[in-house]
Amino acid sequence: MDFLFNPEQVALKQKVIALCEEKLAPLEKKVGESNVMSREIADVLAESGLFKLFVPAQYGNTTPMPSLVSVCLVREELARRCPNAELIFVMQGLGSYPIVITGSPELQAKYCPLIASGEKIFTLCLTEPNAGSDVGALETTAVKDGDRWILNGQKIFTSLSPDADIYTVFAKTDPDQGTRGISAFVVEKGWQGFDPGKRMDLMAAHPIGAPVFTDCAVPQENMVGELNSGFKTVMRNLDFFRSTVGAASVGMAQAGLDEAVAYAKKRRQFGKSIGEFQGIQFKLADMATELAASRALVFRAAAIKDQGAERITLESSMAKLYATEAAWRIIDEAVQIHGGYGVIKGCHVERLYREIRALRVYEGTSEIQRLVIGNMLLRD
């Protein structure tokens, strides 16, 4: 896809590859599969300047606003090589993007330097035990008390919790209005009444927790955007970052294909490499073709956004749906090509097999993406 990228983006891609090989790979090996965020990896990402991709130009970005193509480029290469770094990178963006697109000038001035420098790590606090795809079912409340808001409620599946420093939280400010009664707030770890929660154990190690708010007081100035505008904000946030989920899927699928090709060349059965058998070649051909199609859909959506589209709901849903489902099939075939060795703990494709599964669920399941696409196609 390099034909699509400008010289700065090609240079960014090469920078990320070099960063992985020279600095992040040793740390990834040291950290391994962990449900605790690595501050060392976060520091390397911060020092590299990659977090500046999430802020406006006045805070260090080379473009006026975050470029979706650039974010997808980085996420793909990190997912392919350094999964712990990829998670920290994307959550810094997902957790801070509401501030960047709807925050007041004062809120941006307070937090954008922290986003860009990596001095603080951000995350998004949205999903609840009874509210996943149905954002309107949020039960966390925010009640006005003078010049502050009092938050009460339980969240779940908050990536990087309890390790993150800053949490963008969505809560009901008008419980009777459904999605029209949601607002967003910036909450800092350490504030009274905020418990970043216990860690959760997923099938693939992932720093994630379940924050709790118990009479947590949040200053009025930490409301993100206008009162009761939170649903629009979160939809714009997901609209942007769903394409990057596709990019991460592409990176993981590329890693799976790389492993499958290398194994097919060296593994010998019946007197020759298994790559010489037509059955294996057909698998590799289908894997490579689906991967190319996934990458095209991801960067199509990203390019349309960077060219000025206000919303890319249809394009990002298509990219997320196809790329995550294709990556699941590609990695499954990579395991199959490895045979028994592919299901041994420590084998790269075995880890990929567990890691790719969550991408078909978070930020809207494949079923939700199909609903979004279908509804948009049927609109007049």
The tens digit of pLDDT for each residue in 309-325 reads 999 999 999 999 999 99
DSSP at 192:
T
What class, spelled out in words, does domain 124-228 have in CATH?
mainly beta
Average pLDDT of the chain to the nearest whole number: 97
Q: How far apart are CA 76 and CA 84, in angstroms?
A: 13
pLDDT at 2: 75
pLDDT at 211: 98
Q: How far apart are CA 42 and CA 63, in angstroms?
A: 23
Between the CA of residue 12 and those of 32, 166, 197, what are the distances in Å? 26, 27, 36
Environment class of 337 (CB within 10 Å of its CB; exposed 0-12, middle 13-18, buried 19+): buried
Q: Range(s) for CATH 1.20.140.10 in the chain?
A: 231-377
pTM: 0.96
363 catalytically annotated = yes
pLDDT at 136: 92
Q: Range(s) for CATH 1.10.540.10 in the chain?
A: 2-120
pLDDT at 327: 98
**Tell me: the pLDDT tens digits for 31-54?**
999 999 999 999 999 999 999 999
pLDDT at 3: 79
First to last CA, the chain: 34
Q: Range(s) for CATH 2.40.110.10 in the chain?
A: 124-228
Q: Which fold has domain 2-120?
A: Butyryl-Coa Dehydrogenase, subunit A; domain 1 (1.10.540)
Among residues 77, 128, 350, 363, which one is catalytic?
Answer: 363
pLDDT at 216: 98
- Residue scoring higher pLDDT (167 or 3): 167
CATH 1.20.140.10 fits 231-377, yes or no: yes
**Tell me: the pLDDT tens digits for 5-15?**
999 999 999 99
pLDDT at 367: 97
Per-residue pLDDT, averaged over 128-144, amounts to: 95
Per-residue pLDDT, averaged over 169-184, amounts to: 96
pLDDT at 346: 92
